[in-house]
């Protein structure tokens, strides 16, 4: 099938490794162009807080997988990163993208955010011309089935995003959220969800800081109790809050240990960004407890077993769709034969028309009529063989028919 996926995710690598192989959009462009130059036919890069995965479609898939493994090491200048890489190919790789899209490979089973991230990754690659016929079909089918799974099973009905379990984690540490104060850094999707869950927990004040301060004004009316603060003042409010949740897209640490004020009372900090926003050394400071994405793995929701049961229903739906996709993928093997058949008909048409037009003096209208008649007749000639080829499910028979057509038409 010549499809593969290579990368790291929360199942195989700690956060210290995942954050080092996270792609920015500029890096995605560089990576895709580099791999296209290596004669890999289709490429999609999925880079989130929990995974950095490169999907490829190409001939000689084993060799191309090795190229991507070497690429990870050289591109990120990480000798030894290969020990953390996972690889899947053919049906296993196809199943992986379905499971990822449906949230069945996430830390929080059935979470919604990943579906949008898969869609964005596909669209990004299409814009670069790196996702073509096979990946367009695969990713669209995976996204469609994921939506169907969520509709049928309601697996995502309970809000269990990283933001949600992060807030619940902090609530457990604090005893409750009511009357507490929080600082949220960043105003992306995760930060907005975080603020929503904090409001639901009846937090008193939510200080919000973002590098682009003006963007906070855009969301100010969406929340009841947020207080915008300048990005440069983010350290100044630390002694006024009980918790900090940071979820920016910054490639660098934005809360540094050596710039921290003396913390006078207990404060909990949750870093749900990747690469991480908060300096890990902050955990050594007095009155501070710092947690990150990997700590959230320790949380087991009371509905987890139910979600697993619903996930099994989803897997059944996925397997049905994969069977259909694999059947379609197999059928694309006839495309070169059909293309050659059409090219052969075009040659016959051009040669025949050239001969007729040399022998008979015709005006332009008459030439157009004959050309249409010739084109229609040739299409009728090959129409039935093409339909029969496409409808033949037996792979052996289909290959036999393809060989026969190629020999009969000398293509």
390-402 confidence digits (pLDDT tens): 777 777 787 777 7
Q: How far is CA 202 from CA 6, 26, 247, 265, 405, in A?
A: 43, 40, 21, 21, 72
- Contact of 231 with 255, CB cutoff 8 Å: no
What distance in Å separates the CA atoms of residue 125 and residue 65, rounded to the nearest whole number? Answer: 18
What distance in Å separates the CA atoms of residue 61 and residue 387, rounded to the nearest whole number? Answer: 30
Is the predicted pLDDT of residue 204 greater than 90, yes or no? yes
Same structural domain, 98 and 223:
no
Last residue of a domain, one of 246, 274, 298: 298
The average pLDDT across 328-350 equals 83
Q: What does pTM read for this prediction?
A: 0.66
Out of 57-71, 214-228, 261-275, pick the least confident. 214-228
Token look-up 């990870």 returns: 72
Domain count, the chain: 3
Token look-up 């009316």 returns: 221
What distance in Å separates the CA atoms of residue 57 and residue 41, rounded to the nearest whole number? Answer: 6
Out of 32-41, 121-130, 301-310, 397-406, pick the least confident. 301-310
- Contact of 195 with 208, CB cutoff 8 Å: yes
- Contact of 311 with 110, CB cutoff 8 Å: yes
What distance in Å separates the CA atoms of residue 110 and residue 93, rounded to the nearest whole number? Answer: 19
Greater model confidence, 87 or 400: 87
Residue of 49, 170, 296, 329 marked catalytic:
49
Q: How confident is the model at residue 163 (pLDDT cuts 50, 70, 90)?
A: confident
| Annotated binding residue 398 | no
CB-facing half-sphere around the CA of 296: CA atoms within 13 A: 27
Same structural domain, 148 and 182:
no
| Annotated binding residue 305 | no
Same structural domain, 125 and 66:
yes
Out of 127-131, 153-157, 272-276, 303-307, pick the least confident. 303-307
| Annotated binding residue 351 | no
Query: What's the chain's average pLDDT?
Result: 90
| Annotated binding residue 402 | no
| Annotated binding residue 111 | yes
Identify whether 141 is part of a domain. Answer: yes
Greater model confidence, 378 or 396: 378
pLDDT of residue 327: 83
| Annotated binding residue 70 | no
Is the predicted pLDDT of residue 280 greater than 90, yes or no? yes
Cross-strand bridge partners of residue 206: 182, 226
- Closest by CA to 319, choosing from 142, 108, 80, 201, is 142
The average pLDDT across 277-298 equals 91
* Domain assignment of residue 344, given as a range: 332-408
- Closest by CA to 140, choosing from 59, 26, 44, is 44
Same structural domain, 153 and 8:
yes
Q: Which SS3 state, helix, strand or coil, does residue 107 take?
A: coil
| Annotated binding residue 131 | no
Same structural domain, 149 and 7:
yes
- Contact of 155 with 101, CB cutoff 8 Å: no
pLDDT of residue 296: 80
Same structural domain, 135 and 231:
no
| Annotated binding residue 88 | no
Same structural domain, 230 and 248:
yes
pLDDT of residue 385: 78
Same structural domain, 269 and 186:
yes
The average pLDDT across 147-174 equals 84
Q: How far is CA 115 from CA 49, 99, 139, 378, in A?
A: 14, 10, 11, 46
- Contact of 379 with 345, CB cutoff 8 Å: yes
Same structural domain, 166 and 153:
no
Identify whether 316 is part of a domain. Answer: no
Token look-up 């059935």 returns: 110
Last residue of a domain, one of 108, 136, 158: 158
Same structural domain, 281 and 368:
no
- Closest by CA to 268, choosing from 354, 167, 386, 346, is 167
Is the predicted pLDDT of residue 303 greater than 80, yes or no? no
Last residue of a domain, one of 103, 130, 158: 158
| Annotated binding residue 230 | no
pLDDT of residue 158: 56
Token look-up 């999907």 returns: 55
Question: What is the dihedral angle through the alpha carbons of 233, 251, 117, 199, rounded to the nearest 10 degrees?
Answer: -20
**Percentage of the chain modeled with pLDDT above 70:** 97
Cross-strand bridge partners of residue 246: 185, 271
Burial class of residue 62 (count of CB atoms within 10 Å of its CB; 0-12, 13-18, 19+): exposed
**Beta strands of 186-311 (E only): which ranges?**
205-209, 226-229, 243-246, 267-271, 288-292
Same structural domain, 275 and 175:
yes
Measured between its terminal Cα atoms, the distance across the chain in Å is 24
49 tagged catalytic? yes
- Contact of 99 with 105, CB cutoff 8 Å: yes
Same structural domain, 374 and 227:
no
Hey, what are 251's tokens?
């490639």
């Amino acid at each position: 099938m010549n499809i593969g996926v290579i990368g790291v995710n929360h199942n195989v690598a700690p956060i210290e490794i995942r954050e080092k192989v996270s792609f920015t959009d500029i890096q995605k462009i560089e990576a895709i162009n580099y791999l296209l130059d290596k004669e890999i036919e289709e490429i999609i890069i999925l880079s989130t807080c929990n995974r950095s995965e490169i999907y490829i479609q190409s001939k000689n898939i084993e060799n191309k997988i090795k190229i991507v493994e070497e690429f990870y090491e050289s591109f990120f200048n990480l000798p030894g990163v290969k020990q953390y890489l996972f690889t899947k190919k053919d049906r296993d790789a196809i199943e992986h993208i379905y499971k990822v899209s449906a949230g069945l490979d996430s830390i929080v089973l059935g979470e919604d955010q990943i579906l949008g991230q898969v869609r964005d990754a596909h669209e990004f690659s299409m814009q670069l011309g790196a996702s073509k016929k096979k990946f367009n079909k695969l990713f669209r089918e995976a996204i469609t089935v994921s939506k169907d799974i969520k509709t049928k099973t309601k697996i995502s009905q309970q809000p269990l995003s990283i933001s949600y379990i992060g807030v619940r984690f902090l609530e457990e540490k604090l005893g409750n959220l009511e009357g507490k104060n929080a600082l949220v850094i960043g105003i992306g999707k995760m930060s907005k969800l975080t603020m929503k869950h904090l409001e639901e927990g009846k937090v008193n004040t939510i200080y919000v800081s973002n590098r682009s301060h003006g963007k906070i004004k855009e969301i100010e009316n969406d929340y009841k109790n947020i207080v915008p603060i300048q990005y440069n003042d983010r350290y100044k409010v630390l002694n006024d809050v009980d918790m900090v949740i940071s979820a920016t897209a910054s490639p660098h640490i934005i809360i540094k240990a050596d710039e921290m004020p003396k913390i006078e009372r207990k404060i909990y900090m949750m870093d749900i960004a990747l690469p991480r926003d908060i300096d890990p050394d902050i955990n050594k400071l007095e009155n501070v407890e710092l947690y990150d994405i990997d700590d959230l793995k320790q949380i087991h929701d009371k509905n987890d077993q139910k979600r697993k049961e619903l996930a099994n229903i989803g897997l059944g739906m996925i397997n049905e769709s994969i069977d259909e996709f694999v059947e379609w993928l197999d059928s694309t093997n006839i495309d070169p034969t059909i293309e050659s058949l059409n090219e052969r008909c075009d040659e016959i048409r051009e040669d025949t028309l050239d001969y007729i037009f040399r022998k008979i003096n015709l005006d332009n209208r008459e030439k157009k009529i004959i050309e249409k008649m010739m084109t229609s007749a040739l299409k009728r000639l090959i129409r039935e063989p093409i339909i029969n080829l496409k409808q033949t499910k037996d792979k052996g028979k289909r290959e036999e028919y393809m060989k026969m057509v190629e020999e009969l038409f000398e293509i």
